[in-house]
Structure 1
Amino acid sequence: MPPSLAPRPRPPLRRRSTPHPPPGYSQTRALATAKAPSSLFSPLDTFPDRHIGPDDKEMAGMLSKLGYDSMDAFVADAVPDKIRSSTTAVSDESIPALSESELFRRAKELGRANKPFKSYIGMGYHNAVVPPVVLRNVMESPAWYTPYTPYQPEIAQGRLESLVNFQTMVMSLTSMDIANASLLDEATAAAEGMVMAFTGSHGKKRTFFADRGVSPQTIAVLRTRAKGFGINLVVGDALQDLGDKKDLCGVLVQYPDVNGEVKDFSGLAESVHASGALLVCATDLLALTMLKPPGEWGADIVLGNSARFGVPAGYGGPHAAFFACTDKLKRKMPGRLIGLTREQHIRREKATSNICTSQALLANMAAMYAVYHGPVNLQRIAQKVHGLTQVVRTAVEGFGYKSVNAQFFDTLTIDVSGVASSADAVHEAAVKSGINLRKIDDSTVAVEDVVALTNVFASAASKPTLSIADLAAPESLAIPEALRRTSKFLPHPVFNTHHSETEMMRYIYHLQSKDLGLVHAMIPLGSCTMKLNSTSSMMPVTFPEFSAVHPFAPKDQVKGYLEMIKELEDDLCKITGFAGCSLQPNSGAAGEYAGLSVIKADICLIPVSAHGTNPASAVMAGLKVVAIKTHNDGNLDLEDLREKAEKHKDNLAAFMITYPSTFGVFEHGVQDACKIIHDNGGQVYLDGANLNAQVGLTNPAICGGDVCHMNLHKTFAIPHGGGGPGVGPICVAEHLASFLPSHPLIATGGQKAIDAVAAAPFGSASILLISWAYIKMLGGTGLADSSKAALLNANYMAHRLKGHYTLRYKNGKGRVAHELLIDLAEFDKAAGLKVMDFAKRLQDYGFHPPTCSWPISTCMLIEPTESETLEEVLRCYDSDPQGGGDIITGKQPKDNNLLKNAPHPLSWNRPYSRETAAYPMPWLRERKFWPTVSRIDDAYGDTNLIVSKPVLCIERGTHSSRSSVTAPP
């Protein structure tokens, strides 16, 4: 037995006596201690009191236990003096606070400023109908939008099962061998396809050809990504202009294309394959219910946007992209692949993709849409869309116009020459009718809408208008015989069972019951900041004035959106201290990539204490990664930094730092480190993953940064959604503002703007409302108070755990930042107990484990956030896994004990009592969350691809993705 363990027979692992609460602690949060209103006319529904967990008495008690008589004295010890300044503070003067009811009224006011035009613009964005049973029970349900990515699969079986449905749906409709669990949007998915084609040639072939029928926003994102990898992007007619194929690594086509044409690419596929290149196809899931799927005519990679399956347009997002490929490419596929456990594809500086690129909540909505409708009703919807498009063609041709494309699914290109005075005349007539023209592509279109649309052309041609009685149903399809789908799709029982609302509701709740979210308990994941996603900030997202808006609608129709966006940009600049902001990046990883892309050079220095996604983002931006050492106390090795900065000064692009570091401390030398970089001609990229510890107390600019991204799904309270959505806007110093990302269809960015990094001009615009509302309701003072509470909760938990675990890093005053890193290495030495043994046992207590084995393999990174009350912090503290002392002393065998066997589901076959395993604390008898499966081998799942498909369990009326471990056909 190690000497350090000898005096403590159960380090933190035997049930400890009832903890002594600090002064002022009570079992129920004392809301009566909330600050009294300043006058009779002041609102009572102030948000800080609802968002910040500990009340005044609880905070006073925690501060007393830590040895402080005031919050200011505590913050002075936690945050270095030289980065704290009154000039960095945000206050209610700079960001006035709104009450919840005031915010609601303001959101409604902005919504009314948007014009509710009917948009037939298309280009991958559709006014999809969200089935109410999915809207209420998935999109608006905290049981679905608050859980984290399924890193702990035992308590994420519902989401995993639903994501298997999504993957199965995509494979079936595309006729591809395998699909992932979603990407950010269609444009970035196409960029991933391009990179796969490039890396598949081992970098020997550098030309990637994009057909001119591909959407312009996709081509813009391809240009951005191509620069980082040195790919030569060529745009032209893929059926005519490929030319010499010796340097060709891949070809991207769109099916149907952006102008609606349905082309036969089977001959192109053969030609591309003969040259050793890959054929990538962007497509439409609804169209594939009627069109011959790409997997049947030779595509290697198939991608697109699943928003058409029940996700609102939302001025551009969020939407879940889909990505499928052939079996031989499965190990190169980007993003997450869901099988019996998660599959990760991230390899630090060797990565060519980034794992943090999924949209799980939106993928689950799309999957539920397919489950609810089934193959028969999906095809009926597609047939209606196609039929109404034909009706429009017949009507407008009757006015003398000419349809350019004779073969289409849902998109028409109309030649107006010779009939209307100009195309502008048609658009003007459309605007007068409240219509945005480009195409009819919409399952929400009613017959009345078709009449209104055709009469726009009648008006422009000075022809008599039509009525419903004048319309005739088409007699045949406008799809070539050779390109019509003949194969069956979605035959799996799950897509053919739950078509009544009753059954659908029960299915949704059955899956929901298998997942642990913030509705159950704290999720203390370090670096992930799982705080409250308040109902009041979520409500505006589903207002139709925001959710039904097309991202390419004219700016005079979206004044409310643009005003909200400008307010959010301004507030984020105030918070970070920077001059410019872009909201386009639609994930934290995309924000890292965008921020680095505005910096021009070659070398990126990254310390080992930086956020885990940083190296992958640097490589994607075309930078070479050089690692920087840290000292044993967790602080940066400034001498190593200086040496490498000077060595690479001729082509130094950036220093990429996370602050506070992922080791859980504010480093005193951050400004010195930034000066070293600036002295050697580089820029400082400050990763905003841990911005929750900075807001209102310091900022990235004062720390020395030139650019930062912010995880709005962390610091600014957008829900994680079980693995997405996220938003990762960037803020930059004045000298970089002119490089902020542009967009080919809506003006964004500066005078020297880089190309687009996302499909929509403002990224996932609809959920920007959440962070806008969060900031407005807290106000400047509330934002600062939230940071202080986050610091206090983390330091109080570190104090309580002292003596039971080794706190790996702290500053010179003994303080951590907003998270703490505890080391479990001694338990491995003494009893063979690994980090994951502790993590799995915490599930028996009804808690999601902290971040495990990162940034150090033997550690847990714990972040309680400001939203958790003292009661919940203590409940988590009391949940130290039991049994370690018994294992060390030999009372339990090392290979068959409470920790090694955890978590414990309802089934039972263990050498100890079920009581000991399932109810280690008394309160669990009332608040027990049961894992639905026993332990899953995460490491095995990371290295062995085992993909399951949904199989119906007839006797229970549900299905389980765990019933099959064979790869899908």
Structure 2
Amino acid sequence: MNTDSFALRHIGPRRSDLPEMLKTIGVESLDQLMFETVPDDIIMKRDLDLDVAMTEQEYLEHITEMAEKNKVFKTYIGLGYYPTNIPPVIQRNILENPGWYTAYTPYQAEIAQGRLEALLNFQTMVSDLTGMELANASLLDESTAAAEAMSLLFAVRSREQKKNNAVKFFVSEEVLPQTLSVLKTRALPIGVEIVVGNHKEFDFSEGFYGVLLQYPGRTGNVHSFKDFIAQANHSNIKVAVAADILSLVKLEAPGQFGADVVVGTTQRFGIPLGYGGPHAAYFATREEFKRHIPGRIIGVTKDLDGNRALRMALQTREQHIKRDRATSNICTAQVLLAVMAGMYAVYNGPEGLQDIADKVHNTTATLANALEELGLYQMNDTYFDTIAIKTDATKIKYIAEAKNINFYYPDEETVSIAVNETTTLKDLNKIVAVFVEATNKKVIKVSEIIKGNAIPAEAARKTKFLTNEVFNSYHSETELMRYIKKLERKDLSLNHSMIPLGSCTMKLNAAAEMLPLSDPQWGNIHPFVPIEQAEGYQQVLKKLEDQLTEITGFAATSLQPNSGAQGEYAGLMVIRAYHESRGEANRNICLIPSSAHGTNPASAVMAGMKVVVTKAGDNGNIDVDDLREKAEKHKDNLAALMVTYPSTHGVYESAIKEITSIIHQYGGQVYMDGANMNAQVGLTNPGNIGADVCHLNLHKTFSIPHGGGGPGVGPICVAKQLVPFLPTNPIVKTGGEKGISAISAAPFGSSLVCLISYAYIRMLGVSGLKRATQFAILNANYIKERLKGHYETLYSGERNRAAHELIVDCRPFKEHGVEVTDIAKRLIDYGFHSPTVSFPVTGTLMIEPTESESKEELDRFCDAMIAIRMEIDSVSKENTNNVLKNAPHTLRMLTDDVWDFPYSRKEAAYPLAYVGENKFWPTVRRVDEAYGDRNLVCTCEPIEAFMEEA
């Protein structure tokens, strides 16, 4: 037993477990299982060319050496990114706590009430500060949130605007440069025409349907948009405002001026810079647009006993079951970061935020005053935290960087300085010293912070915010620590038991992978610093790109997409650019199998493609004849095939090479969805099966934690012909020579969490990565055989083997009156999160154990599933008062004086012996989804108040 081996710690089953597991499956060896599972013609003929595996200690020493190559300057660049004080109580109890970072998206509301409450706090905070009726539970970054606003306003155009083909979207010249780049990317395929200009000169002509304003502007100016928005409303032109969240403490809420959408980032609410992410964006709008709002919304409802409960609202819309009519995608949340930002507001409260905002503004005013005393011209008549100095920018840059200071230089004659909450009096004097040296003036000593008054009276905030009790109760560390723990106890995460979700790959997020995230040498780097200041990041990110390129069998990788859905979109946009470069812009047909992820058609439509669905055969595989027929039919316009491999049905389709060759024969490119890459690494790869581009879910296969629904990273890996078209960034050079404009705000996406995947690959090495894949397949097939005779596996490979996941059919149980949801809820009583419900086939459970789970845990899960199967046999359709329909059972039910159920308390709460050793109690009974959607409440107001009003 090599105790230095990370693979030993990561992979669950012990060597001594292997004989029994193989015997249960019916094979002699792991190699035989691989032979019977993976088609021989796609097996890699060589090992991956990667570095030798490191031990955990070697890796931690290595990553510390890499961190020391980063230069952490005092940074005043701004542009939507600010150094911030991360409250240690939040860092220790949320960011570094597996109870929070290993949770899954809260689809099973009964075991996610803590996270749901934290997200409701976030939504309430955003609604209060923006003055809007409705906010979602976070988006990816400010730039993509602005693009979502552009798309939403396009979707809700009036009938007259659609008739008159109003497709122009005005963007203020003061919008952040990275936002403008992302807007251009998203506007192109949906037919929106972007017009950039000075908002003071906008003519409100009929061709425009919407406007995006920046509040405050890119270099700091604060404009009062009240009259502008009033005129836009009069002209039936809708207005989106990108607003700095901290400035809204002092600036009037855009909603008060009549804005239709308000977007931004909450990064400066206690989230590390992390060289660009992950950070939680926000999106707030009017309630009338609730059916169009992107991402997830947390809402208030009630449970079976009428008690207040929370859940994701409008889930049908959120899942985008409309598929090929979708305008957005579901993989758009940054839950862990939203929880942190919401807790920052809880911890500081309205008075604390006011104090922070006042300090920032007063510090800025003090700096402006000192520089004006030097005789310098400060350009901004109004500002919150950013001033602009007219001077020799090249000279200032040279002196500032010599003093370890970064400013932003919009042009050769302007220096922009963005103050933040960490800026001290000492820092101010260092900034002033730069300009003293540049101007050869007498040294000025700033001795005190003066009171600022650079916010125009008509834009000053007059409305209250954060009046709810939660924002006025937990201002000591003791109280906040207990509040965080109270919420954590309501959630079932990987630190309690296995989360066997098919397609979501909830594997171990190793502590050694996570530790560097708390290192300020990684956390305090702005994404737009000069490249030489981020040498550690550059080396690690380049190495990660090379690792992923090797693993996928492709030619290059872009880390920019910061979610799986963003990766899908980026891959298709790169394919689109490739066809256009060849004079084949007409190629716009995307073939998608009927079994595909719901995000696939949504991404295709967003990329301006027309979806043509291909059939599946009775065995769940792609109908090759139907695919060939449709590829030939659309050969003149065929752009791409989107295919998941192994398939969404958990099968390695043996015809995959034939499928990809058909697409190439008719001029298309093959996009492979990397959701199931955990069944490929080290055995085969997308390049080997004939794909041209794939996205990878680093938050699945490569061990970044789900964080309750984000952070995620969805890089794309591409074949040689697509390399020139990889996405770029307007500030930091990245991407291909003919690269598409930006997909995300930061040049390398969510760089901070990319350290996790880098660690995963460095510590597993070639043999560890391959073994992880083999054990993922082993564990899935072990579950399949253990459940045999109790549940039917819906699809299997040609030799009756599953890939890394399997689908069990629960539809026959309807004759007992039992739905698949009943099984999902009953599993909670056994201490497990449900597998994926009704995807990709209605009435089924899709199970993926991952390689990290031990045989003991697999057995506990199988025992629970078998026990539930016996319970199904004992109930009838006529009697709904049974242990399945009443699940999950809460502690309140079990301790009530009255027990009106035809089964025992023990049967309800402790159905198997192991449950008593580690019982998880849901805090609410089954939630009423329909009630919550009929009575949409998405802020912290108690449901009783809403019910009385209704």
TM-score (norm 1): 0.92
Alpha carbons 2:184, 2:741 under 8 Å: kept: yes
Alpha carbons 1:886, 1:892 under 8 Å: kept: no
Alpha-carbon spacing, 1:463–1:886, altered in 2? closer, same or farther (3 Å): closer
Q: CA deviation at 1:968?
A: 11
1:86 aligns with 2:71: no
CA RMSD of aligned residues (A): 1.6
The residue that corresponds to 2:647 in the other structure is: 661
The residue that corresponds to 1:950 in the other structure is: 940
Alpha carbons 1:261, 1:408 under 8 Å: kept: yes
| d(CA) in 1 for partners of 2:619, 2:656 | 15
Alpha-carbon spacing, 1:453–1:807, altered in 2? closer, same or farther (3 Å): same
| d(CA) in 2 for partners of 1:887, 1:103 | 49
The residue that corresponds to 1:358 in the other structure is: 333
Pairing of 1:118-133 with structure 2 (within 5 A): 118-133=74-89
1:568 aligns with 2:544: yes
Q: CA deviation at 1:468?
A: 3.9
5+ unaligned residues in a row in structure 2: which ranges? Answer: 301-310, 409-416, 577-586, 894-898
| d(CA) in 1 for partners of 2:86, 2:945 | 30
2:385 maps to amino acid: D
The residue that corresponds to 1:482 in the other structure is: 458
Alpha-carbon spacing, 1:391–1:915, altered in 2? closer, same or farther (3 Å): same
Alpha carbons 2:790, 2:866 under 8 Å: kept: no
1:541 aligns with 2:511: no
| d(CA) in 2 for partners of 1:406, 1:597 | 42
Aligned partner (choices 215, 236, 239) of residue 255 of structure 1: 215
2:445 maps to amino acid: S
Aligned partner (choices 166, 171, 194) of residue 233 of structure 1: 194
Alpha-carbon spacing, 1:883–1:620, altered in 2? closer, same or farther (3 Å): closer
The residue that corresponds to 1:410 in the other structure is: 385
Q: CA deviation at 1:807?
A: 0.6
1:442 aligns with 2:420: yes
Alpha carbons 2:230, 2:257 under 8 Å: kept: no
1:169 aligns with 2:125: yes
The residue that corresponds to 2:67 in the other structure is: 111
Alpha carbons 1:881, 1:899 under 8 Å: kept: no
Q: CA deviation at 1:893?
A: 5.3
Alpha carbons 1:248, 1:275 under 8 Å: kept: no
1:217 aligns with 2:178: yes
The residue that corresponds to 2:102 in the other structure is: 146
Q: CA deviation at 1:95?
A: 3.0
1:743 aligns with 2:729: yes
| d(CA) in 2 for partners of 1:564, 1:392 | 37
Alpha-carbon spacing, 1:65–1:475, altered in 2? closer, same or farther (3 Å): closer
1:917 maps to amino acid: A
Pairing of 1:705-854 with structure 2 (within 5 A): 705-828=691-814, 830-854=815-839
2:61 maps to amino acid: R
The residue that corresponds to 1:39 in the other structure is: none
TM-score (norm 2): 0.94
1:604-654 C-alpha deviation (Å, 9 max, x unpaired): 110012222111111111111111100010111011101111111111110
| d(CA) in 1 for partners of 2:846, 2:177 | 43
Alpha carbons 2:204, 2:237 under 8 Å: kept: no
Identity within the alignment, %: 51
| d(CA) in 2 for partners of 1:653, 1:589 | 19
Pairing of 1:307-706 with structure 2 (within 5 A): 307-340=267-300, 341-343=311-313, 344=315, 345=318, 346=320, 347-416=322-391, 422-438=392-408, 439-469=417-447, 472-600=448-576, 601-706=587-692
| d(CA) in 1 for partners of 2:375, 2:628 | 73
| d(CA) in 2 for partners of 1:935, 1:508 | 23
Alpha carbons 2:119, 2:342 under 8 Å: kept: yes
Q: CA deviation at 1:881?
A: 6.6
1:784 maps to amino acid: K
1:865 aligns with 2:835: no
The residue that corresponds to 1:56 in the other structure is: 15
The residue that corresponds to 1:5 in the other structure is: none
| d(CA) in 2 for partners of 1:492, 1:878 | 45
Q: CA deviation at 1:295?
A: 0.8
The residue that corresponds to 2:925 in the other structure is: 934
The residue that corresponds to 1:21 in the other structure is: none
- Tell me which moved more, 612-621 or 132-141: 612-621
Q: CA deviation at 1:962?
A: 6.2
1:711 maps to amino acid: N
Q: CA deviation at 1:886?
A: 5.8
1:442-471 C-alpha deviation (Å, 9 max, x unpaired): 1011110111011111111112323343xx
Q: Secondary structure at the match of 1:331?
A: coil
| d(CA) in 1 for partners of 2:821, 2:791 | 16
Pairing of 1:18-57 with structure 2 (within 5 A): 34=1, 36=2, 44-57=3-16
Aligned partner (choices 263, 274, 295) of residue 255 of structure 2: 295
1:922 aligns with 2:917: no
Q: CA deviation at 1:85?
A: 2.5
5+ unaligned residues in a row in structure 1: which ranges? Answer: 1-33, 37-43, 417-421, 952-960
| d(CA) in 2 for partners of 1:392, 1:251 | 33
2:142 maps to amino acid: E
Q: CA deviation at 1:846?
A: 0.7
| d(CA) in 2 for partners of 1:614, 1:965 | 38
Alpha carbons 1:279, 1:300 under 8 Å: kept: yes
Q: CA deviation at 1:60?
A: 2.5
Alpha-carbon spacing, 1:96–1:938, altered in 2? closer, same or farther (3 Å): farther
1:900 aligns with 2:891: no
1:207-265 C-alpha deviation (Å, 9 max, x unpaired): 0010000000000000000012010011111221x335212110000000111000011
- Tell me which moved more, 887-896 or 545-554: 887-896
Q: CA deviation at 1:474?
A: 3.0
1:158 maps to amino acid: G
Q: Secondary structure at the match of 2:205?
A: coil
Q: CA deviation at 1:441?
A: 2.7
Q: Secondary structure at the match of 1:425?
A: helix
1:579-617 C-alpha deviation (Å, 9 max, x unpaired): 010000000000000000001231111001222211111
Alpha-carbon spacing, 1:218–1:553, altered in 2? closer, same or farther (3 Å): same
Aligned partner (choices 234, 238, 241) of residue 281 of structure 1: 241
1:405-449 C-alpha deviation (Å, 9 max, x unpaired): 110000001111xxxxx2111111111110001323310111101
The residue that corresponds to 1:271 in the other structure is: 231
Alpha carbons 1:611, 1:689 under 8 Å: kept: no
2:625 maps to amino acid: E
Alpha-carbon spacing, 1:155–1:561, altered in 2? closer, same or farther (3 Å): same
- Tell me which moved more, 901-910 or 166-175: 901-910
Q: Secondary structure at the match of 1:650?
A: coil
Alpha carbons 2:644, 2:672 under 8 Å: kept: yes
Q: CA deviation at 1:910?
A: 3.8
| d(CA) in 2 for partners of 1:515, 1:764 | 26
The residue that corresponds to 1:196 in the other structure is: 152
